[in-house]
């Protein structure tokens, strides 16, 4: 039977509508990216866990793998001025690699309990220490104990749909240029795993 990719996309696309800003630090080197893979990973309310899937191609992946710490921030859709700030964070972290230069110092931050930079203009965050990780060929799935959490502002959570619709065309082109080699790398990892 041929795999129905359209049906797969209908089922899977947009399952996680909230883009999160992931930050981390290793030996003083801070970095971060945007992700749509974040989720809650425990049913125990007094011991929350978070899961995140990071592509091996990305610098943040390597830093989290080694440091075992990260923060995962939700961005704000409201009030209006906060929406613009959230887009700045999305564009600053999600369209280029920290391998090409520092991405964090342009943002207002404070160190979290793990030393990870906390984005002060985010809506809220959880900070985690990795307790399990699973190599899934092109990515690693990290599961972390939440060791700190804070609501920094009031407002609604930013969804990727309205955010994407408001991003400048030039930035989306840059994102596509950044995404293409990442996808090729992912396909190579999958091929290697077969052999």
Residue 159 DSSP class: P
- Contact (Cβ atoms closer than 8 angstroms) between residue 160 and residue 75: no
The first and second tokens of residue 125, run together, are 């965050």
When asked if residue 133 is in the footprint of ligand FMN (CB under 6 A), the reply is no
When asked if residue 178 is in the footprint of ligand FMN (CB under 6 A), the reply is yes
Q: Closest CB to ligand FMN among 94 and 117?
A: 94
Binding test (CB under 6 A) with ligand FMN, winner from 23, 31, 114, 116:
31
Q: Which stretch binds ligand FMN (CB under 6 A): 50-58, 65-73, 115-123, 129-137?
A: 50-58
Is the sign of the CA dihedral 21, 130, 48, 16 positive or negative?
positive
CA distance 141 to 62: 12
Which burial class, exposed, middle or buried, applies to 126 when counting CB atoms under 10 A from its CB (0-12, 13-18, 19+)? buried
When asked if residue 112 is in the footprint of ligand FMN (CB under 6 A), the reply is no
Binding test (CB under 6 A) with ligand FMN, winner from 160, 171, 172, 185:
160
When asked if residue 23 is in the footprint of ligand FMN (CB under 6 A), the reply is no
Residue 156 CB partners (closer than 8 Å, separation 6+)? 76, 77, 78
Binding test (CB under 6 A) with ligand FMN, winner from 49, 74, 94, 138:
94
CA distance 91 to 50: 23
Q: Closest CB to ligand FMN among 152 and 172?
A: 172
Binding test (CB under 6 A) with ligand FMN, winner from 36, 147, 152, 172:
36
Give the number of residues in contact with ligand FMN, rule: CB under 6 A.
23
Give the interface with ligand FMN as residue ranges (CB under 6 A): 19, 31, 33-37, 53-55, 58-60, 94-99, 160, 175, 178, 182
């Amino acid at each position: 039977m041929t795999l129905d990719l359209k049906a797969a996309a209908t089922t899977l696309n947009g399952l996680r509508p909230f883009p999160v800003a992931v930050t981390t630090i290793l030996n003083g080197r801070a970095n971060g990216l945007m992700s749509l893979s974040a989720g809650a990973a425990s049913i125990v309310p007094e011991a929350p866990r978070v899961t995140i899937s990071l592509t091996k191609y990305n610098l943040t992946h390597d830093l989290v793998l080694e440091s075992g710490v990260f923060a995962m921030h939700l961005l704000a859709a409201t009030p209006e001025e906060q929406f613009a700030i959230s887009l700045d964070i999305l564009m600053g972290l999600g369209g280029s690699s920290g391998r090409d230069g520092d991405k964090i110092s342009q943002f207002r931050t404070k160190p979290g309990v793990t030393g990870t930079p906390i984005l002060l203009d985010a809506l809220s965050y959880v900070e985690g220490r990795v307790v399990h990780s699973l190599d899934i060929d092109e990515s690693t799935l990290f599961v972390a104990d939440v060791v700190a959490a804070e609501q920094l502002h009031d407002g609604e959570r930013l969804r990727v749909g309205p955010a994407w619709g408001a991003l400048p065309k030039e930035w989306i082109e840059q994102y596509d240029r950044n995404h293409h080699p990442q996808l090729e790398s992912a396909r190579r990892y999958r091929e290697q795993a077969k052999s």
